[in-house]
Amino acid sequence: MSVAGAQDRLPPLPVEALSDAQRKAVAEFEAARGREVDGPFAPLLRSPEVMNRARAMGDYLRFASVLPPRLSEFVILLTARQWTQQYEWFVHHPIAIEAGLPEATARAVAEGRRPDDMSDDEVTIYDFVAELHRHQSVSDATYARAVARFGEQGVIDTLGIVGYYTMLAIVMNTARTPLPDGAPPPLLPFPR
């Protein structure tokens, strides 16, 4: 959870300070994503190979997963809430809403409560991810429901999204990556 007013520990590197490997990683990132290195990728650039491999994994999980965008973004929001990752929530909340996740569902997640009135596939995702976050595993019944609904590939893609966005969350929480343009934090501390 980035601390309001806390100094960014791993801010974007000045272009003139980049190593050849970092310059190459930046060029590959910009070619793949069509934008400058920002967010979690600014701190990850300290290890250009990790940044590029993370970006490649994210390209699949975010843009080509077997889960529809509404559900993959739901997984991202659940993970951002678990880690109180402000930047992740700030970026993905509007994407989730645009993809069709109800605002009331997102609000409940932000407040640390189980959403009401979820669709069947949202209930399956919520139960799977919440149980995984709470117990670091899932029960046989929860696993069976997820496989029946999304197939084994869908389960692996869901786990991949949780793992990938957990990695980005811990990078940004450790780096204290600030929100763009001084935006206020969208999440309150997680009710524990």
* CB half-sphere exposure, 191, CA atoms < 13 A: 7
Assess whether pLDDT exceeds 90 at residue 145. Answer: yes
Q: Which helix (H) or strand (E) holds 171?
A: helix 140-175
Predicted pLDDT of residue 106: 98
Q: What is the DSSP letter of 5?
A: T
Q: How far apart are CA 31 and CA 5, in angstroms?
A: 33
Are 87 and 43 contacting, i.e. CB atoms less than 8 angstroms apart? Answer: no
Assess whether pLDDT exceeds 70 at residue 179. Answer: yes
Are 28 and 52 contacting, i.e. CB atoms less than 8 angstroms apart? Answer: yes
Percent of the chain whose pLDDT exceeds 90: 92
Q: How far apart are CA 62 and CA 182, in angstroms?
A: 26
Residue where the block lists tokens 């310059």: 23
User: pLDDT band at 5, cuts 50/70/90?
Assistant: low
In CATH, which of 3.40.47.10, 1.20.1250.20, 1.20.1290.10, 1.10.260.40 is domain 69-182?
Answer: 1.20.1290.10
Instruction: List the structure tokens of 28.
Output: 């590959």
For 40, residues 6+ apart whose C-beta sits below 8 A from its C-beta are: 54, 87, 168, 171, 172, 175, 177
Domain locations in the chain as residue ranges: 18-63, 69-182
- Please state the length of the chain: 192
| pTM confidence score | 0.94
Q: How far apart are CA 155 and CA 34, in angstroms?
A: 29
Q: Which helix (H) or strand (E) holds 133?
A: helix 120-135
Predicted pLDDT of residue 182: 82
Q: What digits encode the pLDDT tens for the residues 97-142? A: 999 999 999 999 999 999 999 999 999 999 999 999 999 999 999 9
Biggest CA pair distance of the chain: 54
Q: Which of 102, 104, 150 is nearest to 127 (CA)?
A: 150
